[in-house]
Amino acid sequence: MLAQSLKNYFNFVTDVFITVALDTPLDTCFDYRWLEDGSQPRNKPQVGQLALVPFGRREAAGIIVEVKGESDVPADKIKNAIAIREQLPPLSARWLELCRFAADYYQRPLGEVAIPALPKNLRGEKSVSLDRALKKLARLDHAHDPAPADAPRLNDGQQQAVDAIAAAEGFAPTLLYGVTGSGKTEVYLQAASRVLAAAEQQGTQAQILILIPEINLTPQLEGNVRSRFPGVPVATLHSGLAEGERLTNWLAAHLGHARIVLGTRLAIMASLPHLKLIIIDEEHDASYKQQEGLRYSARDLAVWRARQLSIPIVLGSATPSLETWHHAQSGRYRQLELRERASQSAVLPKVRLIDMERDKPGEGLTSTLVGALKLRLERGEQSLLFLNRRGYAPVLACDACGWIGNCPRCTAFMVLHKPEHRMRCHHCSLELRIPRSCPTCGNIDLQPLGRGTQRVEEGLQRVFPQARIMRIDADSTRLKGSAQAAFDSVHRGDVDILIGTQMVAKGHDFRNLTLVGVLNPDTALFSHDYRASERLFAQLMQVAGRAGRAGQKEGGNASEVLIQTRYPTHPLYGAVMAHDYDRFASDLLEERRQAGVPPFMYQALLRAEARELQTALDFLQHAAQCTEHEGIIINDPIPMTVTRVSNVDRAQLLAESPSRPALQAFLKAWMAQLRATKTRARWSLEVDPVDI
């Protein structure tokens, strides 16, 4: 009797198979059987759920992309899935579509895109219980809330921008082109508020994604958002979060709980079921480009996502990328402008060039700059010195015999780090003791050449022994929380002179800063990289934008920017002095058009690396010849500028086409062939490379 009913039961049950995307370089998904365990019937698996499966000798978490009644894998070969994470609502079809697009576009397997986009705690072998994370969700809403703040009265430009963004329907990409300090943040916040209110009125749900370029800018924006949206659940997503926090915040987004999600580039891959508006602050910033693994552009994916969902997207910048500028000029993006600074009486700082041939610097500082610093110290105002080079000196050398401190593993100099008593390679992170004498001739008088932030800091201390000087760069802020503490002390007024790298150049709303000094920008003028001038211009405008944001105090100094240069007549500096991004961008765009480079050309870079350079070059040579490529320009393979890193030689090959679809079609066929190629070289492809 019992046997009979069991038999009936089993006959009734049909096999269920799932196809799972796993994080492997193999360009395929994998089938598994999902077994009833006999004693208790289970729920049918759903697409978008996470499954734990055996893979090779390990267990791996994957995403179910298909559920089906049969599989092509023979019955004796197919393995059984181990578990399905039923507690987690499935990832949506929309989200999977985003991953699929990114995988196709960047020529990667789906699993390599989708799985790393999930918090680590969800993709480990061990199933972490979600209970704790879910409990924390409720606390997320009101825990760290600062005092509520009223919105300032918008000026006309801001008001028009907010109205235009809030009124937008469907896919509406908008460039918010506003000078530094013009109050773009305020526009984002009020547009967000309108979108949330409209959803509430319609009885629907809304989520807003705000991307920012630097982790260090998160606290400033998070504080603003929380004080302006009391009680509204806000979640942050960036690589600085502990895993537990990351899981909680990711869940808050995925469950639709968080209404506003703030994050760095990785947040573009968050699951946001009710996404209604995307904002990208400082859209030109290079950090939106992931530079390892899946080398995606968070900005480009954001635009795709807005189109997929038919929602507005705002790209904000004082110095838009030429790609975005081009879209705006040609009418594909709408352009909104904020021409003036928002705070009362605040104007853009005056930019002056200091000719270093005439005013020769001591300690890296010209007498003009020293004088300007002195004025600020006397009046209790803050100054910022910008030098995009960390360490003490980029080279240590011996005058007697010509020895230079090279990294033994890279084609690069070891950088002298004096406070840490170390030589460091910025390419492979090798650390060595500082040699007491020249390893070649024994000379004990080794010379640091050039100047990094540490050396400038030391010089400043000699020139201004009374001043409170703070250095902020990747070295001074290695410890978690130290960057925030440093920025806090600047905001509190505990610092007179701030010296730093690009970390201090962007986004920060310093209120008492009236002087910016730029120490060594000339090298970028003569770079072989055609993007260098675009970057330098943006960088100078951004750092200049830190000065004079609160307006001139009575009896205080007018805000100014002093650029130390050997090329005071260079047109780029002329454009910076005039704060004339329009002219600069339009000229540069025309140059690019004539030179046939992006945004008028679409590119992909094939990189190869091996112990011997020749192995890498041979592979690239083979790649250059292995497939039909009508309409595609394949350039010669060349060694990379820094050829050797960590004892591995690197080379690259650039493929390009004026047609994006043509390039995409070519890449697909090309990748299939290259995957089948046997080589000792390790290789990878980057679509839309920015560093070539």
Residues that bind ligand ADP (CB under 6 A): 152-155, 158, 178, 180-186, 342-343, 509, 549
Instruction: Give the one entry of Zn ion, ligand ADP, none that residue 154 binds, where binding means its C-beta sits below a cut-off of 5 to 8 angstroms depending on kind.
Output: ligand ADP
> Binding site annotation covers 626?
no
Spatial CA neighbour of 285 closest among 215, 389, 191? 215
Nearer to Zn ion, 213 or 450 (CB): 450
Cβ proximity to ligand ADP, 127 vs 343, nearer residue:
343
Number of residues that bind Zn ion (CB under 5 A): 15
Q: Is 437 in the site for Zn ion (CB under 5 A)?
A: no
Helix (H, G, I), strand (E, B) or coil at 141: coil
Distance CA 277, CA 305 (A): 10
Q: What are the structure tokens assigned to 348, written together?
A: 């853009």
Task: Please give the Cα distance from 135 to 139 (Å, whole number).
Answer: 7
Pick 558 or 642: Cβ nearer Zn ion:
642
Instruction: State which amino acid sits at residue 124.
Output: G
Contacts of 481 (CB under 8 A, 6+ apart): none
Cβ-defined contacts of 143-152 (< 8 Å, 24+):
144/226, 145/226, 145/227, 145/230, 145/231, 146/223, 146/226, 146/227, 147/227, 148/227, 148/228, 148/230, 149/227, 149/228, 151/186, 151/189, 151/190, 151/193, 151/228, 152/183, 152/186, 152/342
Taking CB under 5 A as the criterion, the residue among 425, 497, 516, 674 binding Zn ion is 425
398 annotated among ligand-binding-site residues: yes
- The residue (of 443 and 489) whose beta carbon lies closer to Zn ion is 443
Check whether 29 is labelled as a binding-site residue.
no
**Could you tell which of Zn ion, ligand ADP, none binds residue 185, using a CB distance below 5 to 8 A set by kind?**
ligand ADP
114, amino acid identity = A
Among 155, 335, 443, 679, binds Zn ion (CB under 5 A): 443
Of the two residues 158 and 174, which places its CB atom closer to ligand ADP in the complex? 158
Which among ligand ADP, Zn ion, none contacts residue 425 (Cβ within 5 to 8 A by kind)? Zn ion
Provide the mask over 382-421, with x wherever binding to Zn ion is found by CB under 5 A and - wherever it is not. ----------------x-xx-x---x-xx-----------
Task: Compute the least distance from the CB of residue 146 to ligand ADP, in Å.
Answer: 14
- Classify burial at 356, counting beta carbons within 10 Å of its beta carbon; exposed 0-12, middle 13-18, buried 19 or more: buried
Transcribe 197-264 into DSSP letters. Answer: HHHHHTT---EEEEE-S-GGGHHHHHHHHHHHSTTS-EEEE-TTS-HHHHHHHHHHHHTT--SEEEES
> According to CB under 5 A, which residues from 18 to 47 bind Zn ion?
none
Distance CA 188, CA 220 (A): 14
The response to whether 99 counts as a known ligand-binding position is no
Neighbouring C-alpha atoms within 13 Å toward the C-beta of 470: 20
In angstroms, the first-to-last Cα distance of the chain is 74
Interacting partner of 438 out of Zn ion, ligand ADP, none (Cβ under 5 to 8 A depending on kind): Zn ion
Q: Give residue 255's Cα distance to chain centre.
A: 25
What percentage of the chain's residues is helix, strand, coil (to nearest 5)?
A: 35, 25, 45
Binding mask 612-651 for Zn ion (x = CB under 5 A): ----------------------------------------
Is 438 annotated to bind a ligand? Reply is yes
Please tell me whether residue 672 adopts helix, strand or coil conformation: helix
Q: Give the nearest distance from C-beta 422 to Zn ion in angstroms.
A: 13
Nearer to Zn ion, 322 or 438 (CB): 438
Q: Pick what 155 binds: ligand ADP, Zn ion, none; C-beta below 5 to 8 Å, kind-dependent.
A: ligand ADP
Question: Taking the complex as a whole, how short is the minimal distance between the CB of residue 178 and ligand ADP, in angstroms?
Answer: 5
What does 184 interact with, of ligand ADP, Zn ion, none (CB < 5 to 8 A by kind)? ligand ADP
3-state secondary structure of 614: helix
Q: Which lies closer to ligand ADP via its Cβ, residue 180 or residue 271?
A: 180
Rule CB under 5 A: say whether 165 interacts with Zn ion.
no
Nearer to ligand ADP, 177 or 670 (CB): 177
Q: According to the annotation, is 410 in a ligand binding site?
A: yes
* 425 is known to lie in a ligand binding site: yes
595 is a site residue for Zn ion (CB under 5 A): no
> Does residue 402 contact residue 396 with C-beta atoms inside 8 Å?
no
Nearer to Zn ion, 345 or 440 (CB): 440
Please state the residue numbers annotated as binding site for Zn(2+).
398, 401, 407, 410, 425, 428, 438, 441
- Which residues are near Zn ion by CB under 5 A? 398, 400-401, 403, 407, 409-410, 425, 427-428, 430, 438, 440-441, 443
